[in-house]
Structure 1
């Protein structure tokens, strides 16, 4: 356990560095300068405040740290690891915000101007269409880099909670669910949703790429090539139980989008399957560590599934018109916008109740991380099919709320392992 705080901080720095890299790569000119000023200014302020208040709290005896669990380096009385939180907040939040609000880069989709910029509701065909972006650029944006942490963190946290450490299996599993898993999940979806994505003005940026037809085969091949080696390794080091869950997870990834299955066009199954995309990494992390799926663990997983189903359903509301134009079915096209919002709200409430009633402490504390979602969805209870697209603003908030909720749950996991265990 020597230096475990340092190990944890280095692991959790992966999404922070990833967000910063995306921001630097995506932003240009004045937008990049604003990002640098925002990050630099907030970093100085947060580091100074952390140094002052950490030293005051430690001197007052409110908190204490064991040097055996840290690197031993201190600034005054404060361990150097404590400053990682300030760095993460100063870098990560401005990076995510800048990427979400920046203009869509030209090398995102199929070379067209976005519908928002052109004023068109549907992408028009351009006779002298530019060449598609480089393959790596296409694969990068198709994998939804902003969402990488949403699948990697459940695996990493479950594995760490089950083992109390982070070894090679934990690292390789986290890397798999960070990038290859997302490339397979979203890349396959982009290929088979091409026609509907062309009609959707949300696509072509951080919320989803529109793949040029010439990149479809390459995306499917890349998805297979990057996932198979990781799958083989996780099966080799795992148990029969974890391998079955891994197989179920990959089946859900494929079945959600491919023709002949298309779970995303089966109302309610679409919400459950989408939620399973995020819950299954946690199950795999837990079982590959050899831990038992107890009643308390299942309560947490069911609550997580309800959260994911609610989020998928609410996200489908904004696409009601585009899905109907493309003759696609979803929970929102069947229930209608207003009923779907109510369905999402009900699932969030159910998730809170499951955690509070069935989950053991401190896991039950995660219920409070769901409350901001309830508030966001409740603001749109009056929408109907004609105004459904206004929920897009609420959906964009989810991209930030997911990070905040993940941070809160991460702290609960760390406390449960390092303090309460």
Structure 2
């Protein structure tokens, strides 16, 4: 009896230890998933997924096109996995630089060499291969552009982010999701002026977002368009990109230009105000969401009302 009780007690301890081990594994997995979620910059998810909505809305010729399988798949990919890829590869190769970056203390995740992060980045880069049966051929050049520029921006040997002007130009990758979605739904490439306008917008947006990093980047010896120009001239550069973007969109339809002119107007106001740029920087996800919504609603109005 006593031996059996002891045995049962031993079994009970073993079961408890096993349960605790499984709990630790679950906690470890949950921690990793939470980390990858923060790494993906949820505040910026719509920077990639939003253009998909805009592209689909302008490509659609019937309401059913809005929910075409390719549109749904691309939106899902660019909402989360693409952000894990883009920001994950950035964080891996910026590990040393980010020791000087105050944004990593509260707003973003700090990469500390976790092995699962590069694995997740690689998985998210390969994930589009599963879309081949669903996504039409005209969209694939844009998916390749996104993946190629997303990697080349941060990873050696190219590492565009450390070369002034190329760091800005390469961020046209942010319009690739919208162009891919348009091409997937319409079966043709988007208008050239829309691509030019979107690319210029992305150049300005990227360079503006680099202004809060000027001092950390200089301290780390990193050269960017923003560190080369300095804060005041970077405002002017962003304003010029955004004004040219508004003109390109306005050449397609004056209403598009009227929406996009909010960006050069806003940067002009900020340049003459006392608002710290690192505070204004965090306004732009909301501003971009409002602008993207306006563009999308305009396209949907056209679709519904002809």
TM-score by shorter chain over 0.5: yes
> 1:367 aligns to what?
257
Deviations 1:163-193 (A, max 9, x none): 3321222111110011000100011111111
Structure 2 gaps of 5+ residues are: 1-27
Determine if contact 1:366/1:408 at 8 Å carries over to the other structure.
Answer: no
Find out whether 1:403 has 2:289 as its counterpart.
Answer: yes
Which of 8, 26, 41 is the aligned partner of 1:144? 41
> 2:167 aligns to what?
270
- Moved runs in structure 1, 4+ residues, more than 6 A? none
> 1:248 aligns to what?
145
Q: Taking structure 2 as the reference length, what is the TM-score of the superposition?
A: 0.82
Pick closer, same or farther for the CA change 1:205–1:235 going to 2, 3 Å: farther
> 1:335 aligns to what?
229
> 2:23 aligns to what?
none
> 1:225 aligns to what?
123
Determine if contact 2:137/2:184 at 8 Å carries over to the other structure.
Answer: no
Cα distance between partner residues in 2 of 1:223 and 1:282: 21
**Which structure is higher in helix share?**
2
- Say which SS state the counterpart of residue 103 (structure 2) adopts: coil
Deviations 1:358-389 (A, max 9, x none): 21x4xx42323333322331134369xxx9x9
Find out whether 1:135 has 2:32 as its counterpart.
Answer: yes
Find out whether 1:310 has 2:208 as its counterpart.
Answer: no
Deviations 1:365-418 (A, max 9, x none): 2323333322331134369xxx9x931122122121111111111111211222
Determine if contact 1:264/1:330 at 8 Å carries over to the other structure.
Answer: yes
The offset of 1:257, in angstroms, is 0.5
> 1:319 aligns to what?
213
* Aligned residue runs from structure 1 range 15-414, under 5 A: 134-163=31-60, 164=62, 165=65, 166-206=67-107, 208-213=108-113, 215=114, 217-229=115-127, 231-274=128-171, 276-293=172-189, 297-356=191-250, 358-359=251-252, 361=253, 364-381=254-271, 390-414=276-300
Structure 1 gaps of 5+ residues are: 1-130
> 1:24 aligns to what?
none
The offset of 1:290, in angstroms, is 4.5
Pick closer, same or farther for the CA change 1:241–1:293 going to 2, 3 Å: closer
Cα distance between partner residues in 2 of 1:160 and 1:381: 34
The offset of 1:242, in angstroms, is 2.2
Query: Aligned pairs, how many?
Result: 275
> 1:16 aligns to what?
none
Q: Which has the larger radius of gyration?
A: 2
Cα distance between partner residues in 2 of 1:290 and 1:237: 14
- Say which SS state the counterpart of residue 236 (structure 1) adopts: coil
